[in-house]
Amino acid sequence: MNLTNENALWLLSIVWTLYVVIVGVWILLQRSAPVATLSWLLSMAAIPVGGLAIYYFFGPQRFKRQRIKHLRARKSARVRASVQRMRERMPADAERLHQVARLINATSDFPVSTATDLQLLVGGAATYEAISTAVRAARHHVHLEYYIFEPDSTGTALRDLLVEKARTGVEVRLLVDALGSKRLGKRFLKPLLEAGAEVALFHDARVGRRLRPVINFRTHRKILICDGLVGFTGGVNVTDEENVNVMPDAYHDVHLRLEGAVVNWLQIVFLEDWAYALDKLPQSPPEDLELLLPEVGDGHLPMQVITSGPDNGLQAIYRAHLAAINAAEQRVWLTTPYFVPTEAALAALTNAALRGVDVQLLVPYKSDSALVTAAARSYFDELIRCGVRVYEYKARMLHSKTLVVDDGMAIIGTPNFDYRSFFLNYEVCVIAYGPVLNRDLAAQFETDLQQAQRVHYKRRQGFAQRLFDSAARLCSPLL
């Protein structure tokens, strides 16, 4: 080896060392989970150029987003008295529920509220019918936020209805995720815009729109508000894939229709997302505030909105799920299309089973991601060994996201039971205290089990399948 080659190697080693130190400091300052931090450090050292590009696009980021404080303060002042009345009506042994409610309020800043009516909608077809009815009855505004809004027959039908309402003077605002709804083009949106509706994209995924790309941080929320009085949320997107009237093998899903004061808090979630997407925070309350957040009386159904996303490091939805599972005394029935638990979440489920709680998990036999399906199955033996009953839904793709705890708690919304929903996506769900939603979701869980197959401990699997499941598990933080 001549001197020139030695100098080149010496220079290259210095550059590589400086690179590892600088990038290592950058990653360490993110203060992510130790396993994730070590994974990123090893990736950066092993593949300097490619690893840096991956981290640039998909690495952790912190988003700062202002809340519309005058809206939250106004509503918080109104709910204090009703919360006290609810506490007086709840059973004396409901301290566990109060603790969960306090946790959610502390992490997500949403107090306990009430609903005057709720309706569990099973399947996309029933959901779209209920949404269409509510939109037709709207007189002031219709607000929509969706991860997936497809320009297919289902999406076109809803768009045309929105166009019709906008032409009558109803304020229509549509917020869609730029990546999840990437097929929405100018031609599809033109009738809406010409009718006077407003459309915004959440986190434009095109390179160059921000200093760092935001392709990995999506709004997975599904929210629809009519006149501040009727609200919808749950797992159903706007697409033929969830409409059994169009596709016989459409995803099996559930959604929730709400009326009452809790709709005000869903409205605040939308308004803050809308302001964030437009990068325009209102300096004063809007003139039509009473129409956006109408005053309604107390309902008989205690509920609480929960949100989480990379703009809030407290992971409210993740903590709420763990707190609910840890508080369980009789049952924990979890339905999720994507099961990729953290170590803490896995421990919470297995601990509950080991202490005698009836823990049941329902997942799809085959999801729309082979990698996620394989990763989920890698956890089954450990769950079953600890007493968890695991079932795979075989009829269609299962897309429901629900949690039933004892007889007094139930969660329904947009988050899956995985890393992405807990730590990367912007998600929303509602937790209901009391027997009503709990009973409905429990009945639906039992109905779904009729089309599911129980998974047995150490079931027969080929070596290649076991190896693939184990390898997929390594990708859990990225799924």
Q: Exactly one of 401, 418, 448, 469 is catalytic; which is it?
A: 401
Cα 126 to Cα 244: distance, rounded to the nearest angstrom? 9
From 227, 253, 298, 440, the catalytic residue:
227
Active site residue 406: yes
- Is 220 an active-site residue? yes
- Could you confirm whether 140 is annotated as catalytic? no
The tokens describing 132, both together, are: 């269409």
Tokens of 372: 């996620």
Check if 222 is active-site: yes
Q: Which strand ranges, in their side-by-side order, compose the sheet holding 141-146?
A: 117-122, 254-259, 230-234, 223-226, 141-146, 171-177, 198-202
How wide is the angle at C-alpha 356 spanned by C-alphas 351 and 357, nearest 5°?
75
Intra-chain end-to-end CA distance of the chain, in Å: 46
The distance from CA 56 to its chain's CA centroid, rounded to whole angstroms, is 24
Q: Count the neighbouring beta carbons within 10 Å of the beta carbon of residue 63.
A: 13
Cα separation, 162 vs 196, in Å, equals: 10
- Of 75, 143, 220, 255, the active-site residue reads 220
Q: Active-site residue among 222, 252, 255, 321?
A: 222
Q: Which of 141, 203, 252, 399 is catalytic?
A: 399
* Residue for token pair 């919304």: 413
Strand partners, 141: 171
Is-catalytic flag, 203?
no
Q: Does residue 69 carry a catalytic annotation?
A: no
Nearest to 269 by CA among 236, 299, 301, 311: 311
Backbone φ and ψ for 391, nearest 5 degrees, come out as: -130, 145
Name the catalytic one among 406, 418, 440, 469: 406
Residues known to be catalytic: 220, 222, 227, 399, 401, 406
